[in-house]
Structures are given as C-alpha cells and as structure tokens.
Amino acid sequence: MTFDQAFFSLVSVMAAPMLEDWSWFPVLAFGVSILKCLLINTYHSTDFEVHRNWLAITHSLPVSKWYFEDTSEWTLDYPPLFAWFEYGLSHIAKYFDKEMLVLQHLNHASPATVLFQRLSVIFTDIVLIYAVRECCKCVQRDRGSKDILGKPSFVLAVLLLWNFGLLIVDHIHFQYNGFLFGVLLLSIARHFQHRHLEGALLFALLLNLKHIYLYIAPAYGIFLLRSYCFTQDNADGSLNWRSFSLSRLVALGIIVCSIFALSFGPFILLGQLPQVLSRLFPFKRGLCHAYWAPNFWALYNVADKLLSVLGVRLNLLDANRLHKASMTGGLVQEFQHSVLPSVSPFVTLVCTLMSLLPALFSIWCRPSGARGFLRCIVICALGSFMFGWHVHEKAILMAILPLSLMAVENKEDARIFLILATTGHYSLFPLLFTAAELPIKILLMLLFTLYSFTSLKMLFRHEGRLISIPEASYLAGLVPLEVFCELVYPWTRWQQPFPFIPLLLTSVYCALGVTYSFINLYLSLLRTEGAVKGKAKGKSQ
C-alpha cells in the first residue's frame, strides 16, 4: 500500500459515519476556525496597521474627509462600501481599545487591538463558510464512491475552507480576503442555481467592497448579457436575437446602478468622485509591486536585465547609457527598462484585454452555462494577474479559489489546479519572512499540498496519471529553491549587497508555473469548444 492510499484509507475510516448527511461540514468549519484562533499571536504585516488606521479614519472623521485624510501613509484606498464596513467594525472596536481609533496613534498594536482585529477576520469568515456550503451543493453528483475522498463536495469544502493562501494571507499576514471571497463564491453559486439577479447583486456589492474584482467583471458582464438577457438560442446553437429580454436587462441595470449609487452617491454629491478614484487607481506606483508577482512582467524584467548584462559583456551596449536596474531594489516605484521597451499602464491594459478576449468570445458565441462562466472567471482572473499593472502577489488567490470548483469535477482542471495552487501558494512565502513563522508556513503548505494531491488523485484514480513527470519535477524544484532562499543564501557574501535575490528567484521560478497553467487553461478552453462543436454537428446531422 502506497503512502497516499494509506492516507486516503485513514481519512475514509475516520469520516465514514458523517458521509450520509452534511454533518461533516460543521466539523470542517469549526476545525479551521480553531486553527485561525491559534494563529492570533503570530506575525502581522503593515496591512494590520492599514486596517487599524481605516478604523480610526471612518470612526473619527466625517464622510467628507475619509478620502482626503493622510496623517498616515496608509490612506484609505478601498471603495466606499468597504469604508462603511470599517465604520461598522469601529463601533465594536471601541469596546476593546478606544486608543486604536485615534488617528494620531500610528502603529498602535495593543493586545486588545490585536485580539479585536484578528477576531474580526475570523468572525467575518462566516460569509466564506456559508458560501462554501452553497458551492458544495452545486458540485455534480459523486462518482459512486463510498469513500469520503471520493466525494467531490467534501474535497471542495476542504480545498476552500482550508486553503493555504487564505490562511496565511488573512490570519497571519492580515487581510479580509475570506469575507470577500465568500461574497464572490456565493455569487458564483447563485449563478449555478440560476438565481442570476441575486448573483449580479452580490458581485456588484463585491466590486464596491474591493475594486480588484474588476479583473473578472468582463466575465460577469458577457455571461449575464448572453445567458440571462437572451432567453434562448436557435436550433443550431447560434444567437436568437428575437429572444432578447429588455426587462431582464433593465432589472440588471437597476440592481447594478443602485449598488453603485448607494456606494459612490454621497461622494458624487460632495463633488469628491475624482479624489476617490485617484485613491482607488494610483498609477504612479510602478509596473511591479515591491515583491514581484510571479507573472509575465517578472519574466520580462529578468529578460531585460539579462539582455543588458549580456550586451555590456559583448560590448554591444554602453553601460553608462543604460537605465539603472532600480526594478531589482524591491521598491514600489516607477522605473525604465534598460534594453526592452518600458511598459506603461496603457500597454498593460491592452495586453490584459487581449488575454481575456478569447475566453469572453467563447462564452458569447458558445455559451456552456455556469461551468463555462466559471472557466471564464478563472481565465480572466489569471490573465489580469499575468499582464496587469502593479499586480499584488496575493491576487493569485482570485484564480486558485474558483479553480477549486472546476478541479473536483474534471481531471484536466485538477491537473492545472495542482500546478497553479502549488506554485501560486509557494509564491506567497516571502510575505511571511520572520523566523517564527517559517515552520508554520512550511507545515501548512505541506499539509494542504499533500491533501490536494491525494484527494484529487483518488477522485480521478480511474483516469490515469494526474500530472506528468516533467510537471512533477518542476514542482519538486520548489524544495531546493526554498532551501537555498531560507538556509543557504542568508549565509553567503551576496546577502548584504543583493538582498532581493531570493525574492527574484522565487518570483521568476513561480512565474514559469503560473504561465504554464495559464496556457493550459486556454488549451482546455479550446478542447471544450471543440467538444461543443462536435456535439452540435452531430445533432445537426
């Protein structure tokens, strides 16, 4: 018996009594909540102070000053609904420690403040727990397995509730992604349940809580217009223009416009919309974040650096005329590339749109219901991550979590999920750079990765190998990379003059896996389209 078979059998025996109903779900949810409580006293990043400052801003100042306040460098830069969310939390925070609500108390982190902020993230994850439960209901029926790891709904619940990225980003690093992803997943579930207006309402709310979800807004717009506003297709699958429902379009418009009016209306009346938008879209921050997200621009930056070094060595370029490589300094700033053309926000917008158009074209011309919509969401999220301007490394979760829903139903999607989740989650390691958190992040990553591979392998055990030997070799390369970055490099003489090298290596190595996953997602889309065309042709004959 192999190790993964033994692991599978052990879990199956332990969980067998809970298989017949959903009694296992509260156990999973309660278990992960206990783990989150155990992480309360771990390291927290500057995002902790960011949200504390936003509590102080919304509690202490009138609405008219929220988006002008700049006592702290961590100014309010989320949409208005999230500001109101912070305002609501602030009225609970005052019972823990009133001092955290004083604007001038920068970097205030009393034990009571830490406790409140940590508990606020744990408590608001109730939205995520409910959304995961709804998503599990949408999973196609199991494959007849009597073992718990053969139940797609159980596997999906673990992959979402115990997601490694959410655990370290929210409950160590500190953010409210669980709450926000809960709204997203609930919106997706509503579309699977054909409750499209409710799904649109939830997504409109989400956009006004955190504008990064604009990445996937095109998928929502095209899907709702094509599959909700047009009520039926022609016999050959082509669009039936006569089936267009103006009343449905108006209903969607009223819902979306009402949410945006509720959110931005007060600031429009105050004449502050330009100020709010300038906070939401600060294009002066540069192409890449301080720690490069593992995307196309990380590879582009390295290619530019290698070409400049090679050009100087071969006497093809004058070193005195080249732009200095400030991009490798780990700073948030604008910079010029040395050899390759420098990249502007407009260029990244064009590249992003070009990467999304085939997927959007697919769900417009050949709609395949909520599952085709879900695939488009993942491609839009990953395409925006690959080519967007000043992308944060944490944005990879926007592709990984929805892809979890696809991974439990299709072997090819499971393969892509394993590669993307492993590389994407590992790319988050540099967020936790303190020694105390090193064993925690490694242990959590190993447990989640082990479960992902074991459970998905068991789900598709009758369909052959899940990942190829070259793919497995690439993923195994993360182990020596981690050893070098954490144990070897800090003791070399290059540590002081080049502290950014471990970040660069991590970003570039993970960018290869993310890029590979993105390409494979598009290949799977093409194969799906081919299958749809084949079925349509068969019906016509």
CA distance 177 to 431: 15
Residue 23 CB burial class (10 angstroms; 0-12, 13-18, ≥19): exposed
Provide the pLDDT for residue 142: 54
Q: Tell me the mean pLDDT in the region 313-321.
A: 66
Give the closest residue to 275 by CA, choosing from 31, 62, 68, 484.
Answer: 68
Q: What pLDDT is stored for residue 254 in this prediction?
A: 96
Least confident span in 171-180, 214-223, 385-394, 497-506:
497-506
pLDDT tens across 99-118, in order?
999 999 999 999 999 999 99
Strand ranges for 67-209 from DSSP E: none
Q: How many helices and strands, by DSSP H and E, does the chain display?
A: 22, 0
Q: What DSSP designation does 323 have?
A: P
**What string of DSSP letters covers 179-204?**
HHHHHHHHHHHHHHTT-HHHHHHHHH
**Dihedral in degrees, nearest 10, Cα atoms 204, 55, 290, 509:** -60
Better pLDDT: 258 or 141: 258
Q: Please, what is the Cα angle at 476 between 524 and 446, to 5 degrees?
A: 95
Return all residues near 243 (Cβ < 8 A) that are at least 6 apart. Answer: 230, 231, 232, 233
The Cα-based distances of 271 to 90, 266, 274, 275 in angstroms read 26, 9, 8, 9
Instruction: Count CB neighbours of 187 within 10 A.
Output: 24
Q: Out of 56-65, 186-195, 440-449, 493-502, which region has the weakest mean confidence (pLDDT)?
A: 493-502
Residue 370 · residue 377 · CB < 8 Å: no
* φ, ψ of residue 24 in degrees (nearest 5): -75, -25
Give strand pairing partners of 239: 233
Query: Taking 90 as the threshold, does the pLDDT of residue 315 lie above it?
Result: no
Rounded to 5 degrees, φ, ψ at 244 are -60, 130
Reported as a single tens digit per residue, the pLDDT across 25-65 is: 899 999 999 999 999 999 999 999 999 999 999 999 999 99
* Largest interatomic CA distance in the chain: 74
Main-chain dihedrals φ then ψ at residue 328, nearest 5 degrees: -95, 15
| Closest to 222 in 3D by CA, of 356, 400, 402 | 356
Average pLDDT score over the chain = 87
- Adjacent-strand bridge partners of 391: 288
The count of residues in the chain is 541
d(CA 54, CA 50): 6
**391: helix, coil or strand?**
strand
Give per-residue pLDDT as tens, 366-410. 888 889 999 999 999 999 999 998 888 899 999 999 999 999 999
pLDDT above 70: residue 21: no
Q: Is the pLDDT of residue 344 over 90?
A: no
Q: How far apart are CA 8 and CA 458, in angstroms?
A: 8
Sorting pLDDT into bands at 50, 70 and 90, what band is 16?
very low
Two structure tokens written together for 223: 């899907």
pLDDT digits (tens, 9 = 90+) for 393-452: 899 999 999 999 999 999 999 999 999 999 999 999 998 888 888 999 999 999 999 999
Q: How far apart are CA 210 and CA 81, in angstroms?
A: 8
Contact assessment for residue 378 and residue 347, using Cβ atoms and an 8 Å cutoff: no
Cα separation, 77 vs 67, in Å, equals 8
